[in-house]
Amino acid sequence: MFPPRCAGWLLMACGVAGAQTRPVADMVLVHGTVLTVDAKDSTAQALAVRGGRIVAVGTDAAVMRLVGSHTQIVDLKGRTATPGLIDTHGHYGEAGSDDLFHVTLPDATSIAEIVRRVKARVDKAKPGEWIVGFGWDEGKLAEKRYLYASDLDAVSPNNPVVMTNSTGHYLTANSVALRLAKIADDTPDPAGGTIDRDASGHVTGILKENALRPISALIPPATPAQMRDGILMEAANLHSEGVTAVKDTASEHVWEAYRDLNREGRLDLRVCMLWRAGQSMVTANAVLAQMRAASPVERVYDGRLATCGAKIFMDGSSIARTAWSYDPWDKDGVADGTNTGYPGFDPEVYRSMVRMFHQAGVSVGTHAIGDKAIDWVVDTYAQVLKEKPTIGLRDSIIHAYLPTPHATETMAMLEAKYDAGYPEVQPVFLYWLGKSMPPNFGPERLARTMPLKTYLDHGIRWGAGSDYAVAPLAPRLGIWASVEREVMGGAHSFGTAEAVDVHTALRSYTAWAAPLIFLEREVGTLEVGKRADIAVWDKNPYAIPASELKNLRCEMTFVDGKVVFTRAK
């Protein structure tokens, strides 16, 4: 379906007549291992680059014939080159400014530590100034419980405080913030949201899904300068992990920050952005108009930047027990009553939104975690594609943790018939969120969570990613988790029946990820004619024990043949 442009080992194999007509290379990488990730998973020793594109892949001797007096020679010294890695789902445009300017909590291991960090920020703030943070995970906390308003109130009597859980689907607001948002004990739960209450009926400060909205509307947004600075920082972090392209999800303001950096020639990262479409036909039509004004919907890249489509949320989070499922979630290992989660909004409205985008030729990426949500999403894609058969929109199911057999079969059909219905999964979740997921899942769900082997057996290709800042951005962790399915701390709560090999795992971050940003003819493999987006590693991932994959170290990263990262000695 995605034919390689040129799979020949030598430039001559692509029609260059002879040695006398061969162009001199701008750069060669020699004396190493080159994992092309092409259709045959071919391996070479060296490659050559000219004008930002690969012009030869093969032996050292063949590639060295293209060296001239001004050619840059990169001696790999036995190291391994792969295609630049692609993250098919992240929130880098927003996470960057959060990382730079807010309280960061992914490494917090106790409520007490979170409170200390909040107090340190409050002590420097003016009365009334918002204190915002992100990344706490109750599964990693010594107390093994939520962070509550009562934990924060003692150190923040005059400042509104909001600390968002690592999933982004629920947060803790202190009492000042709750008052400003007019959330009290008698405030009803909104549609598609939950206001958590204790046994006495008092609000705890935990707000889930649509209940976040009154608080979120009050938090001062990042400035354009802060957003640009954050993007540049995240791009540098991505390059240090061999990442050369991302599929981001955000809003018009994030697009503008990317656009400005791109126009200034400072965006050394390929970015394809999904625009959040909201929860109504009104918001969907408004976003479609914004997308058309900002960028062609045909995914034509302007430098390094393009629109990938629209994003819609079908449900919530498995950890929050708000994902829409057929069977009740567990809570602390026992059934959570009749709680099967819920759709984010009216499913029929969702279907109308997808139909509208489909009629406009715009791809849709839908967040869906629960099995009932996934069924609704793939059936929606199948229905609108049957109504108007269209090839190549590459609609995706973001996360796709718990598909039913019906969903799996429908994804396989959609990929084969319409080039659509691709899972965009985050294997790193198995590791990073692996302490918080099992208490909610139960043994039957755990065994079939993120079923990569089942996808593979059904001929389903997927793109992998991080959902950063929900989980660490390093793809090496996702590659390792795809193979080992190990939880932080060493447990194997999910089992290994759905594990895949390292060749498949790497492909999900390269050759299979490239089509999901509409760049399979440009990147994703190291073949003649492709752009020279390359990552260089200290070890060969195909040749080391699977347990060592998480410790791979990126040594160099290239975008269009330009060095964008070199590890300091």
Interatomic CA distance for residues 114 and 369, integer angstroms: 28
Interatomic CA distance for residues 536 and 565, integer angstroms: 10
Matching residue, tokens 């594990």: 499
Strand (E) or helix (H) holding 104: strand 103-104
Q: Is residue 18 very low, low, confident or very high in pLDDT (cuts 50, 70, 90)?
A: very low
Interatomic CA distance for residues 556 and 537, integer angstroms: 7
CA distances from 450 to 101, 349, 364 (A): 33, 27, 21
Q: Are 522 and 530 in contact (CB under 8 A)?
A: yes
* Dihedral sign computed on CA atoms, order 418, 421, 427, 428: positive
pLDDT tens, residue by residue, 337-352: 999 999 999 999 999 9
How many CA atoms, within 13 angstroms, populate the side-chain half-sphere of residue 408? 17
pLDDT tens, residue by residue, 181-191: 999 999 999 99
In one-letter notation, the amino acid at residue 20 is Q
pLDDT of 13 strictly over 60: no
Chain centroid to CA 30: how far? 32
Matching residue, tokens 């965006």: 267
Q: What is the pTM of this model?
A: 0.93
What's the confidence (pLDDT) of residue 297?
61
What's the confidence (pLDDT) of residue 9?
29
Rg value, the chain, Cα: 24
CA distances from 540 to 9, 33, 235, 381, 536 (A): 20, 8, 24, 39, 10
The separation between the first and the last C-alpha atoms of the chain, rounded to the nearest angstrom, is: 42
pLDDT of 2 strictly over 80: no
Interatomic CA distance for residues 34 and 206, integer angstroms: 49
In one-letter notation, the amino acid at residue 364 is V
Residues 59-75: what's their mean pLDDT? Answer: 97
Interatomic CA distance for residues 204 and 224, integer angstroms: 34
Interatomic CA distance for residues 146 and 227, integer angstroms: 30
**If you count them, how many residues does the chain have?**
569
Matching residue, tokens 């291991």: 109
In eight-state DSSP terms, residue 338 is T
465 burial class (0-12, 13-18, 19+ CB within 10 angstroms)? Answer: buried
pLDDT tens, residue by residue, 216-246: 999 999 999 999 999 999 999 999 999 999 9
Beta-carbon contacts of 495 under 8 Å, excluding residues fewer than 6 positions away, are 446, 447, 485
Q: How many Cβ atoms sit within 10 Å of the Cβ of residue 282?
A: 9
Residues 162-188: what's their mean pLDDT? Answer: 96
Interatomic CA distance for residues 75 and 449, integer angstroms: 42
Closest by alpha carbon to 33, among 85, 84, 82, 86?
A: 82
Considering the chain, what percentage of its residues have pLDDT values greater than 90?
92
What's the confidence (pLDDT) of residue 302?
77
Residue 211 vs residue 16, higher pLDDT: 211
In one-letter notation, the amino acid at residue 311 is K
**Residues 424/350/384/91 CA torsion (nearest 10 deg):** -30
> Which three-class secondary structure state does DSSP give residue 18?
coil
Interatomic CA distance for residues 198 and 221, integer angstroms: 31
Beta-carbon contacts of 462 under 8 Å, excluding residues fewer than 6 positions away, are 400, 422, 423, 424, 425, 452, 455, 508, 512
What's the confidence (pLDDT) of residue 21?
57
Q: Is residue 556 very low, low, confident or very high in pLDDT (cuts 50, 70, 90)?
A: very high
Beta-carbon contacts of 399 under 8 Å, excluding residues fewer than 6 positions away, are 367, 368, 369, 424, 425, 426, 467
Interatomic CA distance for residues 56 and 54, integer angstroms: 6
What's the confidence (pLDDT) of residue 298?
61
DSSP codes joined into one string, 495-507: -STT---HHHHHH
Interatomic CA distance for residues 325 and 341, integer angstroms: 6
323: cis peptide before it, omega within 30°? no
Interatomic CA distance for residues 67 and 22, integer angstroms: 10
pLDDT tens, residue by residue, 92-112: 999 999 999 999 999 999 999
| Angle between the N-to-C axes of helices 252-263 and 92-101, in degrees from 0 to 180, rounded to the nearest 10 | 90
Angle (CA) 34 508 106, round 5°: 105
What's the confidence (pLDDT) of residue 428?
98
| Angle between the N-to-C axes of helices 252-263 and 224-239, in degrees from 0 to 180, rounded to the nearest 10 | 70
Residues 287-311: what's their mean pLDDT? Answer: 85
Mean residue pLDDT of the chain comes to 94
Interatomic CA distance for residues 41 and 484, integer angstroms: 21
Exposure b/e, 402-415, CB count within 10 A at least 16 = b: bbeeebbebbbbbb
In eight-state DSSP terms, residue 187 is P
Matching residue, tokens 């007096």: 69
pLDDT of 8 strictly over 80: no
Interatomic CA distance for residues 250 and 186, integer angstroms: 33
Q: How many Cβ atoms sit within 10 Å of the Cβ of residue 263?
A: 12
pLDDT tens, residue by residue, 79-92: 999 999 999 999 99
Q: Is residue 34 very low, low, confident or very high in pLDDT (cuts 50, 70, 90)?
A: very high
